[in-house]
Amino acid sequence: MSKPALMRHMPQIAHVDVNCFYASAERAFDPSLEGKPVIVLSNNDGCAVTRSPEAKALGIAMGEPWFKLAPRAKEWGLVALSSNYELYGDISARVMELLGRYSAWLEVYSIDEAFLGVKGTPSELASLGTSMKAAVRRNVGVPVCVGIAPTKTLAKLANKWAKNNKGFAGVCHWDSVPAAEREALLGRLSVEEVWGIAGRLTRRLNGMGIFTIADLVRADPVAIRDKFNVVVMRTVLELQGTPCIPMEEERIGRDQLIFSRSFAKPITTAAGIRQVMSVYGQQASARLAKHGLQAKVLTAFAGTSHFNPKDTSYPSVCVPLPMPTADPVILTKAGHALLPRIVEGVRYARAGIMVTDLRPSGNQAPLSLFENPHEERHIGTLLEDVTRRYGRGSIGLGHGGIRGGPDWTMKRDMLSPRYTTHWGELPLVKAA
Amino acid sequence: MGVIVGPRVIDAGVSLLSVLVSPMPVAAGFPSPAQDYFDGRIDLNAHLIKDVTGTYVVRVSGESMEGAGISDGDELIVDRALEPHDGSVVVAVLDGELTIKRLRITPTGVILQAENPAYPDIAVPALSDLSIWGTAVRCLHHV
């Protein structure tokens, strides 16, 4: 096989993410925010978690507490918004569904970014990136950037480059950039710009004389493994162009937990998807419990392969949970909201769930109550005894045991309408 | 114009409570003779939405589109993926607001037309000067 022919068949990775996701989702429904500095605040309106470029230009730092910014907001014309997780969850599901049409090999990496396996000639890949970007902007209404490269680490880097360099118009195909330009970039950027390299690791690499990404690319992977670990070695190999970080099926981030999987054999029935959702519901529950977290919103999705363009179906639902929970029963039932949208007989190649709006579960550990077989631990009689001695509401299963105001009713004083998930909060269009 | 009364959910969030309760009564006794013919209820989503990723529901505020059968308080199904053309009812961004108008593309320029004589038309030099948010494809008119 000749080299160009071989290259044509080498799969590459596209990394797609939404620019300033939360702020962009808000702007999609409120165009008056365009051009204004916008920040979105964390749970309970704590601190800035998303900043529009205009807000960054004001010098507002990531994580800056709102109480410090509030006194100057008016003078700056700064718009602060509470986290509208219902909106972000739905917008995310739409973006992922749309991206899934471009590749059967999709890893939803976080609420606003995904990796896709893609194939093609350099010009095909570049135009694929451009059309993905245009489609998300047109259909969903939010801007994305795309980086396409032989490895995940390089794709992330290409995306960052596309974001920061207007010349790319938001899409960077790594291999199409002249080698001299790539090398100049790598020689300019600090190692901490690399995906997975941060803080302490940066300082240790600096101590070894590795300052720029170019320095790290030149490092001996084996020596790096011996000095650090296999994870850092993989990063070096990926920077050198050898793919070694596989597509993941499960990931926990600061704000979300995702389980998604491409099936070895297509699933063609709602009953099959029901099983998959049950497995994910339980996995998500176990994982949330392990991290001491509860979720408030669950998004479930499925999709057909794009190799089978005849019977396409990409159902998704965003389910606000009745309370923050890690309960496997509730998570599974929420996942089952997808089932009415499953078309019988269609060959689904992929399905997944994403739980978002995560928060610490607090001191009470309601999850242990749901572990089977809880009957054997005499939970029922224990509950009765405690209730008899300390009164109603002193103890209970899950949220049944919360005394006083539930701690999960979040403060969201600056919440925008839940435009796409609540019939009473639809976007208003003026007929005047 | 099709009239739909009381639509509940258009690919919006599904309340968990609606999931916990089966919508179909559980049969006990003789199977219904109609059972073999039941093919599922009419699903508005399937008929009214072409591409869920680009479809949003918006609510109309104002009377300037009365002539097109679009009244204050009606809901519109808006498809962002459609290419608007002359005669399309579009949601356009005007002064930072989402505004509903009839799009007219003429040899002399582009006009955003109201469908009510009490409201003025807005002339736009060219289509490229206009930010079109989406194209209305259905009106859920309250009768």
ipTM of the complex: 0.77
- Residues near A326 by Cβ (< 8 Å), separated by ≥ 6? A284, A285, A288, A289, A293, A294, A295, A361, A366, A367
More confident of the two residues A81 and A5: A81
Tell me: the pLDDT tens digits for A210-224? 999 999 999 999 999
- Quick check: A162 pLDDT over 90? yes
Chain B residues at the A interface, defined by Cβ less than 8 Å, are 8-9, 12-20, 51-54, 56-65, 70, 72, 75-76, 80-81, 91, 93-94, 96-100, 114, 119, 131, 133
- Residues near A182 by Cβ (< 8 Å), separated by ≥ 6? A174
Domain B47-140 has CATH 3.30.9.10: no
Q: Does A274 touch chain B (CB under 8 A)?
A: no
Q: Does A86 touch chain B (CB under 8 A)?
A: yes
Mutate to test the interface with B, among A90, A344, A430 (most CBs of B within 10 A): A430
Which pLDDT value is given to residue A384?
Answer: 54
Provide the residue ranges of all domains of chain A, joining segments of one domain with +. 250-360
A contacts of B63 (beta carbons < 8 Å) = 431-432
Contact between chains at A429 and B59 (C-beta distance less than 8 A)? yes
Confidence of residue A388 (pLDDT cuts 50, 70, 90): low
Fold type of domain A250-360: Dna Ligase; domain 1 (3.30.1490)
- Quick check: B8 pLDDT over 60? no
Task: Tell me how many residue pairs between chain A and chain B have CB atoms under 8 A apart.
Answer: 123
More confident of the two residues A305 and A332: A332
Which pLDDT value is given to residue A311?
Answer: 75
Report yes or no: B100 and B136 within 8 Å, Cβ to Cβ. Answer: yes
**Annotated catalytic residue, options B32, B64, B71, B131:** B64
- Residues near B33 by Cβ (< 8 Å), separated by ≥ 6? none
In chain A, the N- to C-terminal Cα span, in Å, equals: 65
Confidence of residue A51 (pLDDT cuts 50, 70, 90): very high
- Please give the structure tokens belonging to residue A171: 């899409």
Provide the residue ranges of all domains of chain B, joining segments of one domain with +. 47-140
A contacts of B15 (beta carbons < 8 Å) = 319-320
Report yes or no: A23 and A37 within 8 Å, Cβ to Cβ. Answer: no
Contact between chains at A330 and B16 (C-beta distance less than 8 A)? yes
Contact between chains at B99 and A333 (C-beta distance less than 8 A)? no
Confidence of residue A13 (pLDDT cuts 50, 70, 90): very high
- Quick check: A258 pLDDT over 90? no
Task: Tell me the three state secondary structure of residue A304.
Answer: strand
Q: Under the phi-then-psi rule, with left for phi > 0, alpha for psi from -120 to 50, and beta for the rest, what region is A45?
A: left
**Annotated catalytic residue, options B18, B32, B88, B101:** B101
Pairing assessment for the beta strands A428-430 and B55-61 based on DSSP bridges: parallel
- Quick check: A144 pLDDT over 60? yes
In whole angstroms, what is the distance from residue A194 CA to residue A15 CA?
14
In whole angstroms, what is the distance from residue A318 CA to residue B16 CA?
10
Give the percent of chain A with pLDDT over 90: 50
Mean pLDDT over B28-54 rounds to 80
Confidence of residue A413 (pLDDT cuts 50, 70, 90): confident
Q: Which of A250-264, B52-66, B108-122 has the weakest average pLDDT? A: A250-264
Q: What's chain A's average pLDDT?
A: 84
Containing A146, the helix (H) or strand (E) segment is strand A144-149
